[in-house]
Amino acid sequence: MANLNGFEAAIDEDDSTARLDKAALVQGWREYAPRTPSSVPILKYAAKTDMGQVRENNEDKFDFYEPESLAVLAERGSLFAVADGIGGALAGQIASEMMLKRLVNDYYNHPSSEVETALREAISDTNSRVHSLAQMIPERNGMGTTLTAVIFQEDRVVIAQVGDSRAYLHRDGAIRQVSRDHSWVEEQVEAGMMSRADAETSPFRNVITRSIGAMPSVMPDLFVEDVCIGDVWILCSDGLTGHVEADEIAVIAANHAPSEACRQLIELANSRGGRDNITVFIIAVRDMLQAPEYIPSVLPFSLHNPLSISTSSVPSGESVSTLLSSQPDQVEHVSTADRTRIGWRKLFRSSD
């Protein structure tokens, strides 16, 4: 199994703005079992975060990690996540950023071969770190963050949920919320004490009952879905869902490329008041490659270079965004239809 101890040096748990060290990140990946994925989903994705019309800072964050080592991809898959910080001032911003960085490290470094076990325990460990930091520094007392994460591993998607950010799945013309809100109003609805319509307008709709960092321990909800060609996953903070209905999200996400859909959803939420920070992450499943369609034996990376993040070979007009670059307000994964040149980014990317 993997041993990413070198990555510990790449993230100072007291410094949420530390840059990731690429060399430290890949250290130890040679220890993953040398197997190839049984299938690989071809994903096109984009994300955008916005301060909104009222707040003076942005406590929302998004992050993702898409390994290029076949062994890591087979065992851990690709991770995409959205977080909404809690605590005011800079505390919420620190909590969301620190949590996502720790989560990537702890998940990919976990010794278990089970995705669910690794994810659950990575979240637990991350929660402990955020909570401990909040207890040590008075200015950060009470800080925390939501988490909505999806992991595409071979032919399935594993979803992790803490708080009231959401994961939606648009499939076959219909949208449904896969995650369950950890909020006071959701508990009232489930208990039959409040209607869904009343919950959407309740003054207590932003009161959450579970978050990362608020308590010494936390238990995430985990869900599992199959991967289907044509699926569109939407991860978002409550800054979007507070203004935009699920059916409206579906229309925009289903009829536009991820980057344009993110832009339109952010603009729509802002046009209706933008009371909170707004973050949208859209992942579209364009195809599924089954072994041996992706010809792993000829892919141009090996255990000597398990992670390639260079964009120097990307043709003019294309861009490849990675977790290792500083996070901009918007990021899009742009792919190419030209697969004549065998290469991981060429072979595993879909076209518009």
Among 107-111, 282-286, 322-326, which is the least confidently predicted range? Answer: 322-326
Q: Is 114 helix (H, G, I), strand (E, B) or coil?
A: coil
* Residue 179: per-residue pLDDT: 97
Which pLDDT does position 295 carry in this prediction? 52
| pLDDT computed for residue 178 by the predictor | 98
pLDDT (tens digit per residue) in 223-250:
999 999 999 999 999 999 999 999 999 9
Distance CA 53, CA 59 (A): 14
Residue 274 Rama label (left phi>0; alpha psi -120 to 50; beta):
left
Residue 83 CA, chain-centre distance (Å), reads 8
Residue 332 scores a pLDDT above 60: no
Decide: pTM greater than 0.95: no
pLDDT at 73 over 60: yes
CB 274 within 8 A of CB 58: no
Helix axes 115-136, 91-109, angle to 10 degrees: 150
CA dist 316 and 334 (Å) reads: 12
Q: What's the pLDDT band for 81 if we cut at 50, 70, 90?
A: very high
Q: What is the pLDDT of residue 142?
A: 80
Encoded amino acid at 310, one letter: S
Higher pLDDT, 328 or 189: 189
| Topology at the third CATH level for domain 5-347 | Phosphatase 2c; domain 1 (3.60.40)
